[in-house]
Amino acid sequence: MRFSRLFAPTLKESPADAEIPSHKLLVRAGFIRKKAAGLYDILPLGVRTLLKIEKIIREEMNRAGAQEVSLPIMHPSELWIESGRWDVYGKEMIKFKDRHERDYALGPTAEEMITDLVRKEIRSYKQLPINLYQIGKKFRDEIRPRFGLMRCREFIMKDAYSFHVNVEDAEREYWNMYETYSRIFKRMGLNFRAVEADTGEIGGKFSHEFMVIADTGEGKLVYCEKCGYAASTEKAEQAEPAIPQGRESLYKEIEEVYTPNVKSIDDVAGFLGVGASSLAKLIVIVADNKPYAILLRGDREINELKLSRLLKVKDFRFATDEEVKKFTGQEPGFLSPVNIGVPLIVDVSVAEMVNFYTGSGRKDYHLKNINWGRDFSVEQFYDVAEVKGGDRCPRCGAPLIEKRGIEVGHIFKLGTRYSEAMNCVFVDESGKERPMVMGCYGIGVTRVMAAAVEQNYDKWGIIWPVAIAPFEVEVIPVNVKDNKQMEVAENIYKGLIDKGIDTLIDDRDERAGFKFKDADLIGIPYQIVVGKKVFDGVVEVKIRRTGKKIEIPLTQAAQLVI
């Protein structure tokens, strides 16, 4: 492609409504233009990147045994009424009437459409399993379309749906798709995590979100580097805390879990009858003579009855000076400079302590306003992990790492939610009719493009991972009026194209600096600069990601970036 002919209107300034780097840069670099809220024109550079993203998805989905189909975007209301979602899906679904006053929707997802196809065409267990996917437009009237391509009202999704004879086979395919998605995002050069997630609108019992790690992400996730556990923060908070080894039987003994109805620090304050500001206190729970738990609540003034209700233990007292010293390794007065108060010792058995922990201790309000490194040294306490539940791995107890992320893909086990509602059945080996067991698997294709930019940019522009770059190489003749430079640049360009490498040549009669700026902004991974040194038989290759420049002999120029 010749830059002189390329429709890539680059801009010096970001659009006023752009808040995050991908939105700013995709507009500035001429990949997208806004048409209206949540609606974007995709320009040639954008289409090139999307096609590469789609190619990777197609190759991996096909390799995993899925087959591509293309279903209508116009969804007849009857199917959605059958599944029971016509009235419950909500305002995100764009509904309209045709000229005969029949109701339709613009598809926000396609479980109904695919289930209708499969129920009509597949009758026997011999035809199962089957996994069908499509890549196309989806429509969701998002309440707040924003962040450019991240949250649009019209966007491209790859959606796949699988049908099985039983739960085991559906589960096998679920993990097949899990592996496939991992390969897809790895090939795209993205830093991502697959996290356990809620099932949301689509329904079903189990799901994983694929999150691209980025500070601007709308989602929050936690992961454990020790055992590989990863979950959306929401999901992790619902998880049962890890049971320390050897404690299983103890946990089993606990029949009743105390869960005070508290959601915020103010609720706790209300419960104890004190102001929130006086709640930043330290409690050491001594169980079986060891300080197991630290809870930053308590006050000399707190009514004893209220406290025993909160802790659900009867025997407690304030720490003696010796105990303060023993459990904190500090002089008793050490807490006063930071106005924390006096440690409280609650003498309970391990079982009671665990009871407390599995109740209120799992909520994290006791950590607010306290900076462990600053106010206390964590190591001074015994096994803090056991009470901090929320920020420890529920599988192995190691510390969890919390990040923000962008949901680029989502896989679900659907079970028979749709097949039962829509009578999508097959005849099994014994001649009996049974509903098919389903799974569904989505990737936000346009969102992937934005997410990739969130992870790959610098102050000069985008830095595309090679696999999804609109072009892999840009050849830049410094002075197009110089015949020698142009001739060499053209030869390199043609050589690369012959090798099947997507190459752009900036043949515009513009200042070199102007062309370099555009090249960096658009973010093509390799630039080959053909300047004066060409008379010495040398051209320069710049690696966009590192900014590193390498002089190479002309003879090698076309071979370099393969």
Interface with ligand ATP by CB under 6 A: which residues? 109, 140, 142, 151-152, 155, 157, 200, 202, 407-410, 442, 444, 446-447
Q: Helix or strand or coil: residue 457?
A: strand
410 binds Mg ion (CB under 5 A): yes
447 binds Mg ion (CB under 5 A): no
Least separation in angstroms between CB 385 and Mg ion: 30
Least separation in angstroms between CB 157 and ligand ATP: 5
Least separation in angstroms between CB 7 and ligand ATP: 24
**Residue closer to Mg ion (CB basis): 440 or 534:** 440
**Residue closer to ligand ATP (CB basis): 108 or 397:** 108
Least separation in angstroms between CB 171 and Mg ion: 19
- Segment interacting with Mg ion (CB under 5 A) among 408-416, 460-468, 500-508, 526-534: 408-416
Please choose, from the candidates 349, 289, 286, the residue with its C-alpha nearest in 3D space to the C-alpha of residue 318. 286
In the complex, residue closest to ligand ATP by CB: 444
- Segment interacting with Mg ion (CB under 5 A) among 130-138, 292-300, 311-319, 409-417: 409-417
**337 in the Ramachandran plot: left (φ > 0), alpha (ψ -120 to 50) or beta?**
alpha
**Residue closer to ligand ATP (CB basis): 141 or 375:** 141
Q: Are 463 and 474 in contact (CB under 8 A)?
A: no
**Residue closer to ligand ATP (CB basis): 409 or 415:** 409
- Segment interacting with Mg ion (CB under 5 A) among 35-43, 78-86, 405-413, 530-538: 405-413
β-pairing, 283-287 with 344-348? parallel
444 interface partner picked from Mg ion, ligand ATP, none, CB below 5 to 8 A per type: ligand ATP
Least separation in angstroms between CB 42 and ligand ATP: 13
**Residue closer to Mg ion (CB basis): 410 or 515:** 410
Q: Are 114 and 163 in contact (CB under 8 A)?
A: no
CA distance 276 to 381: 25
Q: Residue 366 corresponds to which amino acid?
A: H
**Residue closer to Mg ion (CB basis): 209 or 506:** 209
The radius of gyration of the chain from alpha carbons, rounded to an integer in Å, stands at 30
Least separation in angstroms between CB 155 and ligand ATP: 4
In the complex, residue closest to Mg ion by CB: 410
Per-residue b or e along 168-181, where b marks 16 or more CB atoms closer than 10 Å to that residue's CB: ebbeebbebbbebb
362 binds Mg ion (CB under 5 A): no
135 interface partner picked from ligand ATP, Mg ion, none, CB below 5 to 8 A per type: none
Q: Helix or strand or coil: residue 509?
A: coil
Looking up tokens 């630290």 gives: 294
Q: Helix or strand or coil: residue 164?
A: strand
**Residue closer to ligand ATP (CB basis): 234 or 267:** 234
DSSP 270-336: HHHTS-GGGG---EEEEETTEEEEEE----TTS-HHHHHHHHT-S-EEEPPHHHHHHHHSS-GGGGG
**Residue closer to ligand ATP (CB basis): 155 or 357:** 155
Strands in 472-525 per DSSP E? 473-477, 503-505
Contacts with Mg ion: how many residues (CB under 5 A)? 2
Give every CB contact of residue 529 below 8 A, 6+ residues apart in sequence. 476, 478, 516, 539, 540, 541, 542, 549
CA distance 387 to 518: 54
CA distance 112 to 243: 42
**Residue closer to Mg ion (CB basis): 234 or 347:** 234
CA distance 25 to 457: 9
**Residue closer to ligand ATP (CB basis): 117 or 202:** 202
Bridge partners (DSSP) listed for residue 403: 221
Least separation in angstroms between CB 92 and ligand ATP: 8
Least separation in angstroms between CB 546 and ligand ATP: 30
DSSP 62-125: HHTT-EE----SEEEHHHHHHHT-TTTS-TTSEEEE-TT--EEEE-S--HHHHHHHHHHH--BG
Least separation in angstroms between CB 413 and Mg ion: 14
CA distance 387 to 282: 13
Bridge partners (DSSP) listed for residue 410: 209, 442
Least separation in angstroms between CB 444 and ligand ATP: 2
**Residue closer to ligand ATP (CB basis): 155 or 327:** 155
DSSP 193-239: EEEEE--GGG--SEEEEEEEE-TT-SEEEEE-TTT--EEEHHHHHHS
Least separation in angstroms between CB 218 and Mg ion: 9
- Segment interacting with Mg ion (CB under 5 A) among 111-119, 314-322, 404-412, 433-441: 404-412
Least separation in angstroms between CB 484 and ligand ATP: 48
- Segment interacting with Mg ion (CB under 5 A) among 4-12, 173-181, 226-234, 403-411: 403-411
**Residue closer to Mg ion (CB basis): 200 or 273:** 200
- What are the residues binding Mg ion (CB under 5 A)? 407, 410
